[in-house]
Amino acid sequence: MGDEFPVLGRGIAPGKVILFGEHSVVYGRPAIAAPVTRVWAEAIVTPGEPGVGITIHAPDLNRRFGLAQAPPDEPLAFVVRLTLEALDLSSPPDWTITIRSTIPIAAGMGSGTAVSAAMARAIAAAADRALPNPVLSDLVYQVERLHHGSPSGVDNTVVSYAAPVYFIRGQPPQLLRIARPFWLVIADTGVPSSTREAVMAVRRAWEADRVRFEALFDRIAAIVERARAAIEGGDVDALGPLMDENHALLREMGVSSPELERLVTAARAHGAAGAKLVGAGRGGNMIALVERERTNAVAEALRSAGATRCIITQVRQEAANAYE
């Protein structure tokens, strides 16, 4: 953008994957999640038309609308209103907020979460106000609730802190030390995944057989603890089998799908050390733990097995303030 449209504020937030513990995290068990910095959401604040207030512009979605005209439950407008309130900005300035994202939508990679975080950061930057990570994370959680009803809070936490986290619902997140970086191939089934519906399906199954589901959640919790020790101890070799075990338990919970199974099987057959679905499941993405030299071969095999998109990424220690 040239001098005509000076950028008043910019915010960026990464995608994410849940490495271990999705679904059981809703029921108070721990989860481990990491940012995926190869994909991101970005929001830019530029001067708007005088007297118009805030205009929200999402060119990828072909949407442009005024904040004042948006209904209360419009998610993008909701983020803006919450942020203005959090920053004590009572009268909205004349701004245009433009949003872009390279994160796959409805695929368990936190695209909506990252858009919210990027918008809040951009507004804070334009207003020259600080928005510390815990405040940002709480704000994004309010937006998540609009989408999902009762989210665990893991998504807003990992995306807001932009750092690997060990997370238990209702507790302050613990930032994880990644002793040895590792590589993931993330592959999209191309089947949209609704977090709300998957979470509700698990809830119904849990209500029908609490003893069985509580036992599954406990077994996943034990996997998460072992994974945490492996990640912090640099024992990358231990992570593959733990992913396989976590996937098997998610399948028992009923959140896998034929497409996910096909990709998980293909990844293992082509040398991945382990593989699992990520996020809500029943579609969306899976991840495979792969040695660096084999990442391209595994991605190729996943495409042949039907993946519509593959992202190769390294999980490593992120500077906690990389996105502030």
Binding residues for ligand PMV, per CB under 6 A? 18, 22-23, 25-26, 108, 110, 148, 151-152, 154-155, 195, 199, 279-280
Tokens 């998540």 found at: 144
Residue type, position 304, single letter: S
Least separation in angstroms between residue 109's CB and ligand PMV is 6
Of 98 and 195, which has the nearer Cβ to ligand PMV? 195
In whole angstroms, what is the distance from residue 288 CA to residue 277 CA? 9
The reply to whether 155 belongs to the active site is: yes
Of 23 and 270, which has the nearer Cβ to ligand PMV? 23
Host H or E run for residue 232: helix 210-233
Least separation in angstroms between residue 27's CB and ligand PMV is 9
Instruction: Say how many C-beta atoms besides its own lie within 10 A of residue 231's C-beta.
Output: 26
Distance, CA of 20 to chain centre? 13
Of 122 and 158, which has the nearer Cβ to ligand PMV? 158
- Residue with the closest Cβ to ligand PMV? 279
In whole angstroms, what is the distance from residue 279 CA to residue 304 CA? 23
User: Per DSSP, which regions of the chain are E strands?
Assistant: 9-20, 31-47, 54-58, 63-66, 95-101, 165-167, 174-175, 182-188, 274-277, 285-290, 309-315
Least separation in angstroms between residue 202's CB and ligand PMV is 8
Of 199 and 302, which has the nearer Cβ to ligand PMV? 199
Q: Tell how strand 95-101 and strand 31-47 pair up.
A: antiparallel
| From 94, 128, 138, 155, active-site residue | 155
Least separation in angstroms between residue 242's CB and ligand PMV is 17
Of 148 and 276, which has the nearer Cβ to ligand PMV? 148
Least separation in angstroms between residue 65's CB and ligand PMV is 25
**Non-local CB neighbours of 243 within 8 Å, separated by 6+ positions:** 19, 20, 273, 274, 275, 276, 287, 289
In whole angstroms, what is the distance from residue 47 CA to residue 90 CA? 18
Residues with catalytic function: 155
